Each structure stands twice: as structure tokens, then as C-alpha cells.
Chain A
Amino acid sequence: MSDAADTASAIVAAAAAQLGRIGFDEITYKDLGSAVGVSERTVYRHFPTRAHLLVRVALDLESRLFAPAAFTSWEGLYDAVAARFAAFAQHPAEAVILARSASLSPVGAESPAGGAGSFFSAAVGALLEESAPGLNGRDRRRTASALCYFASAQFWARCRAAFGMSAEDAAASFRTAAGQVLAAAPEGTWPQQALAGAGQ
């Protein structure tokens, strides 16, 4: 059991190590097998499709390179996103894997990786609950989802690929969008300090 888990982890590590030198789509199961010392068939047994492999590599990268900082304030949220986007810019090939993984149809029982990530969305939800207790459930969910989506690896990747933005520019775009989203909440539900921190 633990041997199988070790083999799977070793395959994931071997795939992650190849990123940057070659794209994910050029990584072959055969090469992964030889890197780890198992047959190509064994690699297939652990990762029946490339989507399975992609999701596991993204989880690995998320925890090693891109773990988001904890935050309990709005300023903390903006700082955490800026730091994350900066880390993406330092490891663009790896960050694209996160963006791809978060866009995939869910495979297996893996928890969602990349994108805003479940830890991140829980923290955003808690922040909203604390600073805007008057917000109804529906508005809170819409606000949280928009904030997380603009904080995601997909947003960074899109800003970079289509608009040639630096990590700072992408983080500034997040701040602007977040401010707009927060300002759209019904009047009277926001304490002033939440909006004061948002970039406009």
C-alpha cells in the first residue's frame, strides 16, 4: 500500500521535475517510467489518463511552491494574492499547470487543486462572514466566488498570456476587480474598512 503510494509520488515528482524544460504535453509515460524505475504500464495503472496525472502534479506544486499565505484581514487577502501571483511569475510553467488543473473536469477523488483552492475560498468565506454579517447567503456566495475567481491561477495566466501583464499588474487588476465586487454588495451591509482597503 505505502509502496504504491511511494511509486505514485515518485512519478509525480518526476513529472514536476521535467516541467520548464519541456511542456506537460510532451512528457511521456515511458520517460516517467524509466525515471522512476517502473514500467510504462505501472505508470498507466497509477494515472489512467493524463488528466489524472495533471491534477496530482498540480496538487504537488500547490503545496510545495504556491501554498497561499493565511490571512484574516482584507489587506492580508490582497497581500496573499500579490505574493501568490509573484510566485506564479517566478515559476510560470508550474503555474500554468495549476491553471489547467483548476479548469479540468474533476477526475478521481482528488480535492480541487489550483485556482483559488479550497483553503483559500474557506478563508475568503470566513472574512466575508466576519466583516459583512448583514450580507445574505446568496450575495455572500456570489461575492466569495467572484473574489476567488479573480484571485485564481487562471486569472494570472490570462492576464499574462493575453495582456502581457507582470505579476504586479495582475495583482493590481485583482485589487481593482475585488473592490468593484465588494462595492456591488447592497448598501448598508459593508463596514467601511472593507471597502477602504480595496484598490479603486
Chain B
Amino acid sequence: MIGQALEAEVIVERLGLSRTSAEILAAYVELIEELGTDDVSLKLIARRAGVGERTIFRHYGTRSELLLGAVTWADQAVFVRPSYDSIFDLPLALRQTMSAYSQRPELAFLVAETMMRGPDGADPVPSRAHLEQLLAAEIPDMGARERQQTLAALCHLDSAGAWAALQREFGMSPADIADAAAWAAEAVLNPLRSRAANG
């Protein structure tokens, strides 16, 4: 496990954020959790981040831009996904991701809901690029339609929405949620095992 500080640096770089932007988002996410709502005053965010209110406006023109930034930040930086180099390691990684969501449920619900807002929402498939790359490398002979269906299913499982649905619809415990998500990902990957290039 690499250090938490380094992880944060990597995420800031991946999201293309300035240090100030990252501090604003981190402060906002903290306050959302403490107050139990995303309706947090700019004054409070500014004070927590140690910047002026005008600085927040310069970085995030509107309230919804700020929320989207915070949700993306939460999904990448708060709910840290373990790194993995094979598509077949996704189920194991999913166990950890789901446990992370269970530890901060209100934030996980906020991420899940914001990803469902359509064109105005956060990226509904944040892990797509990584999964696509692994699929192309490990199962190069996959047709376009099959690739798309597989990606859609795996991206759908690797989301706060999966956690929210399993929690709400089935009232599962954190251990059962992690287990159910990993099991479903195994089911999607099972038919591919014998076709893996290195397998």
C-alpha cells in the first residue's frame, strides 16, 4: 500500500486539479458528511479550505459544478480503489471498494445519485478507461458488441450505484454487499477465463 499522501497526489494529477481546487473539494466533501447535506454555505467551505469565497467562485462557477467536482473527488479520493493489473482481479478489488462505500454510506449515496443525473451528472462510468484497456490487452479477440456489453456490466457493478441498490433493495449487510458485487463480477468474467491471452 502506498502512502495516503502520495495517493492524493496521484488522484489530483489524474483529475487534473490544482492544489487549491483539491483543497476546496476536500473541504466541501468533509462538510457534506458532517452536516448530512450537500447544501453547505460557501462561507463554511471557504473557511474550512482556508481560502476566500471569491477563490471558490474562480475555481467553480456554479453550485452544480462544485457538487460535480466534489462527487468525482469523493469517488476517486475518498473511496480509494485498489490498483489491479488484470481484469480478473476486479472482483477482489470490488470487495474493497464496496467496503469503502459501506464505511461512509451518506457520501456513497450522494455519489450514486449524482452519477444518475444524466448529462448534468458526474461520469457514470469512472472506471471505464481502465477496464477497457485491460479487456483489450487480455482478451484481444473480443467483438465490439460483446466488449460493450461486458464493459457496461462491469462498470455498472464497479459503482456507488451498485452499493446503493444492494443496500436499499435487499437490505444487505456490508459483508454481503461486498460478496454479492464480487460474485456478480465473477459471473460476468467466467466465460472469458478460457479466452484470456495469457491464460
Contacts and interface: CB of A to CB of B under 8 A. Distances in A.
The answer to whether A and B come from one shared complex is yes
Given A23-B120, A100-B113, A146-B187, A162 B155 contact: yes
Contact of B118 (A121, A142, A161): A161
Given A96-B116, A103-B116, A158 B155 contact: yes
Q: Looking at chain B, what size class is its interface with the partner chain?
A: 35 or more
B165 A163 contact: no
Given A142-B184, A154-B165, A177-B188, A121 B170 contact: yes
A116 B116 contact: no
Contacts of B165: 102-103, 115-116, 145, 148-149, 152, 154
B156 to A, nearest CB: 5
A67 interface: no
Given A25-B120, A96-B116, A103-B109, A150 B153 contact: yes
B145 to A, nearest CB: 8
Nearest to A157: B116
A172 B128 CA distance: 20
A181 interface: yes
B22 interface: no
| A104, A142, A155, A183 interface centre (most CB from chain B within 10 Å) | A142
Interface string B112-146: 11011111110111001000000000000000000
A141 B172 CA distance: 10
Nearest to A23: B120
A180 B116 CA distance: 25
B86 interface: no
A3 B28 CA distance: 40
B190 A180 contact: yes
Could you tell me the dominant secondary structure of chain B's interface residues?
Answer: helix
B36 to A, nearest CB: 9
A177 B153 contact: yes
B66 to A, nearest CB: 13
A176 B183 CA distance: 16
A25 B125 contact: no
A172 B191 CA distance: 17
B124 A106 contact: no
Contacts of B157: 149
Contacts of A176: 149, 153
26 contacts: A25-B64, A93-B118, A102-B164, A102-B168, A103-B115, A104-B113, A106-B168, A116-B165, A141-B176, A145-B165, A145-B166, A148-B169, A149-B156, A154-B161, A155-B152, A157-B116, A157-B118, A158-B156, A162-B125, A163-B148, A165-B148, A173-B153, A176-B153, A177-B153, A177-B188, A184-B187
